[in-house]
Structure 1
Amino acid sequence: MRILTAALMTETNTFSPMPTGWAAFEEFGIQRGREGLTPGVVTAPMLLWEELARAEGHEVVHSVATFAQPAGPTVRAVYEALRDEILRDAAEQGPFDAVLLLLHGAMVADGYDDCEGDLIGRLRDIVGPSVAIGAELDLHCHVSPAMARGADLLIAFKEYPHTDGLDRARELYRLVVDTAAGEVRPVLGLHDCGMVGLYFTQTPSMRAFVDGMSGLERQPNVLSVSLAHGFPWGDVPDNSAKVLVYTDGDAPAAAAHARRLGADFWALRDRVAFRGLGIDEALDRVASAPPGLVVLADTADNTGGGAPGDSTYVLARLLERGMGGACLGPLWDPVAVGFCHEAGVGGELDLRVGGKACSASGQPLDLRIKVRGLSQDLRTPSYSAEIVSLGAAAWIEIVGADIHVVLCARRMQGFSPMVFTELGLDIGALRIAVVKSYNHFYAAFAPISAEILHIAGPGAIMGDMAAIPFQKRSADYWPRVREPASI
């Protein structure tokens, strides 16, 4: 059996002012199979597929593997160039028996609201109707009719934070290879829940729901079960939570399972929906929190959702309220990082920090700071334990305030306490740690936290799901309306 693999990933916040162009993909690397793949977050599933395939005597051909940090829509020429390179490999290096893809599911480009559906459909035209095509998706995906029609299997992460990427890759491999061999015949049951939101799988209600999906997969004839959460800040028609159930040739059973799970998820809506705190509300809660480190998630400035990562709202309130014993990061400011490296460790200077990317970033802050630590390449584990780079970085202390900030030259959310500790900052001696992230920080910070609180705005990522100013996505969704007509 011959298998083609490829990875083309970014999550698009259509409200973000930052275009996603060549530099965004090149920052994380554009790898090509003919040149050999090096291990990393994006290539890990592809290398796993190769390992599994070779153990069974199959041949693997790798095409493009690339990722861009979430931001605004991808530049049309960039998307088309990367897509067409994958299509050329499919046409010129075929024939193939199977195609395995690592996609996000919420990628939007200029002129393309559904990049994944476009890519899968064009691949289907090239490889033909008998070739098994499967895609692993981030659970914050928009499942479109084109995606469901073009692929034999769509399997999304079950966990948020996304700690199960390789588990889902292994599952996809087995089912796609078995489909290509004629051993199973996947049919899809798809249910639209009519909901727009974010759902943390570590909470009790979501944990039970995810465990229920896994339990259903152990029933005879059920091949795979996914909940596509959707990505709230993607203004596309298919933005909605959806349940996907694949059975082996039993379409009525697949549809019935999907409807039942969809109804179960709908019944949980008030318990699982994200509700954050205002900045002052969160800071007020610090006083009543148990002794130890209180972690505040600055969700509205999460680069993993397409925000710039340079907002100053929370930092400004910490200063205005005189709340020392605090750290904040990572804050994206390449200019300030450069000045700190020039000054060197121990240097003291007046520094303008943050508030540079757009109006949602707030006002820049003019601070007297001392450089406490520097790194030419700050590297930390991500939610999947793969190492990510924040580029050049600086730990600064605001003079007279006992507030510490980690500045970075590469846009990245805070996955791990190592974003602070790698520069020498002992966060265990502090009361407050503000992390620019939505939920991917949770697994690493929970063991060292007395309490974790989520702040909802202000910033580039709107926390009120009912108020997102959609133009292409219908307003018929919960929580904007209590009973959507679409469900």
Structure 2
Amino acid sequence: MKLFLAGLLAENNSYSPIPTGLGAFETEGIRRGPASGVDPGGYLSAIETVHRVVSPRGWEVVEGLFAAAVPLGPIRQPVYEQLRDELLDNLRAALPVQAVMLMLHGAMTAEDCLDCEGDLLERARSIVGPEVPIGVELDLHGHVTRSMVQHATLMVAYKAYPHTDIDERAAEVARLTIDTAERRIRPVTAVWDCRMAGSWPTTREPLKSFVGELQALEGRNGVLSVSHAHGFAFGDVPEAGARLWVVTDGDEALATRLAKELGLRLWTLRHALHQPPLGMEAAMRRVAELPPLPGAGPIVVADMADNPGGGARGDSSFALQAVLSFGIPNVALGGLWDPGAVQLCFEAGLGSTLALRVAGKSGPTSGSPVDLRVTVRALAENHEQTAFGAKSPLGASAWVSTAEGIDLVLISRCQQVIGTDLFTGLGIDLRGKHAVVVKSMQHFHAAFAPLARDVLYADSPGLLTADIAALPFHHRDPQFWPRVADPWSGTAP
């Protein structure tokens, strides 16, 4: 018995001016089988998990293409087609297979394709035929389209945000897919459109408890899996928005009833879920007003709108300008994407003091550059951070400090902050800081919250503005909450 395993992941921001080219995938590492020697890390770190689940059951795993890209704008069409077709050629070469498992994102778009996952799954289905099960692992920030549901046998989304359960969900998909192939179960899926948009951390109530309720239903009374996808608010596609779906063992009526019940339950929680962030100025004013508490840990501030994990460039100056404006000392800020500034630091050398212009270089949503006089405290040719259980490269990086007591981590590879070692790996003691500002929306939380005195979420005029209702839409239905109070007007919920 043979399982074909492959992955193609990208989260594409419709509003980013920077397209996703082949280099965005190559930078992260394209894995073409175990012999390639490429450790994909990150989202694809669950490959070994699938092997561990499947092999004891006597199944052979045949790997195809694995590729993932840092979020940017839509993929260049020829690049998407090249990677898609390579994966599908791998599938053809592996035939006959008794099962297929794909690691996808859900929010992948290309210049001429607004539903890349649906397109890929339709083509994969045409290759293996109607009887071979296709199991899919999705990011909870993915879109869930009719084409995806039609052509996949089952889909399971991460339940945690930050995504601390990628391996766990991969194991779940592998087990369910193999059980289907061995005719132990017969999955059927029903989806409920929640007509909501947002991004809600599962570390906060009420979503934390709601996710617990979903998990409590699984494995009982014919319910195989329950998933809730938030969707990707910055993906302007026809089937955008939050979805909830239930997979049952052959009971379509149960799946339909339960998906609707849970979807409407989520709808009742919408106001509690919607916790708007502070404006950047308000967040930094609060940081400035809070007295230092030695030993209490830092106040961690998430610079949400400049999150590279959603397509921003990580080089906006709004947070840095606010820190300077309020005169807040003993602050660490990172990772600020500025390859040019890093190069100048290397040329100046360790311990040198120089005038340095940082940030604000990618475009209007990055703000204006900031001129500082800095001292180079540490340099690393190949800096990295811990992310999703693996090491994520940050490229050549520098730690510089200012006379005002600000420590900046400058990086050459655009990445959101996930691991504390982005700072500590260069020698910065976070526990002694009054505040730490991270270029991230939520994935920082797992590593930073345990050492934080408090966690603040801050919005700015960056690419990932919290005011998603004001985004210009060309493809998605604008009837969604919180843009409108009742998106079901004229129809029965």
Classify the TM-score, shorter chain: over 0.9
1:168 pairs with 2:169:
yes
What is residue 198 of structure 1 aligned with on the other side? Answer: 199
For 2:485 and 2:54, locate their aligned partners in 1 and report how far apart those are by CA, in whole Å. Answer: 48
Q: Say if 1:290 and 1:451, in contact at 8 Å, map to a contact too.
A: no
Q: Say if 1:17 and 1:358, in contact at 8 Å, map to a contact too.
A: no
User: Which runs of structure 2 are paired with 1:27-42 in the superposition (5 Å)?
Assistant: 27-33=27-33, 35-36=35-36, 38-39=38-39, 40-42=41-43
**Residue identity opposite 1:180 in structure 2:** A
Gaps of 5+ in 1: none
What is residue 444 of structure 2 aligned with on the other side? Answer: 441
Gaps of 5+ in 2: none
What is residue 342 of structure 1 aligned with on the other side? Answer: 347
RMSD: 1.3
Which one of 396, 417, 422 corresponds to residue 419 of structure 1? Answer: 422
For 2:361 and 2:104, locate their aligned partners in 1 and report how far apart those are by CA, in whole Å. Answer: 31
TM-score of the pair, normalised by structure 1: 0.97
Cα distance, 1:375 vs. partner? 0.8
For 2:238 and 2:37, locate their aligned partners in 1 and report how far apart those are by CA, in whole Å. Answer: 35
What is residue 17 of structure 2 aligned with on the other side? Answer: 17
Q: Deviations over 1:413-441 (max 9, x none)?
A: 11122111111112222211110100000
For 1:101 and 1:25, locate their aligned partners in 2 and report how far apart those are by CA, in whole Å. Answer: 17
Q: Say if 2:219 and 2:225, in contact at 8 Å, map to a contact too.
A: no
What is residue 6 of structure 1 aligned with on the other side? Answer: 6
For 1:29 and 1:394, locate their aligned partners in 2 and report how far apart those are by CA, in whole Å. Answer: 23
Q: Say if 2:385 and 2:421, in contact at 8 Å, map to a contact too.
A: yes
Count of residues paired in the alignment = 485
After the TM superposition, which of the residue ranges 415-424 and 297-306 deviates more from structure 2? 415-424
Which one of 392, 399, 407 corresponds to residue 395 of structure 1? Answer: 399
Q: Deviations over 1:231-251 (max 9, x none)?
A: 110000111111110000000
Change (3 A) 1:414 1:42: closer
Which one of 353, 361, 365 corresponds to residue 366 of structure 2? Answer: 361
Q: Deviations over 1:9-59 (max 9, x none)?
A: 111111011111011100011111273464422443222222322222212
What is residue 70 of structure 2 aligned with on the other side? Answer: 69
What is residue 285 of structure 2 aligned with on the other side? Answer: 284
Q: Deviations over 1:62-101 (max 9, x none)?
A: 1101110011111111110000001111122211111000
Cα distance, 1:155 vs. partner? 0.3
Cα distance, 1:128 vs. partner? 0.5
Q: Deviations over 1:291-331 (max 9, x none)?
A: 34111100000000110110001101211222121111000
Q: Say if 1:153 and 1:186, in contact at 8 Å, map to a contact too.
A: yes
Cα distance, 1:379 vs. partner? 1.4
Give percent identity, aligned residues only.
44
**Residue identity opposite 1:55 in structure 2:** P
Q: Deviations over 1:419-470 (max 9, x none)?
A: 1111111222221111010000011111111110000112111111221222
Cα distance, 1:289 vs. partner? 7.0
Which one of 316, 328, 345 corresponds to residue 333 of structure 2? Answer: 328
What's the secondary structure of 1:391's corresponding residue?
strand
For 2:272 and 2:291, locate their aligned partners in 1 and report how far apart those are by CA, in whole Å. Answer: 23
What's the secondary structure of 1:367's corresponding residue?
strand
For 1:56 and 1:138, locate their aligned partners in 2 and report how far apart those are by CA, in whole Å. Answer: 27
**Residue identity opposite 2:389 in structure 1:** A
What is residue 57 of structure 2 aligned with on the other side? Answer: 56
What's the secondary structure of 2:12's corresponding residue?
coil
For 1:132 and 1:35, locate their aligned partners in 2 and report how far apart those are by CA, in whole Å. Answer: 27
Which one of 317, 339, 346 corresponds to residue 322 of structure 2? Answer: 317
What's the secondary structure of 1:252's corresponding residue?
helix
Cα distance, 1:270 vs. partner? 0.7
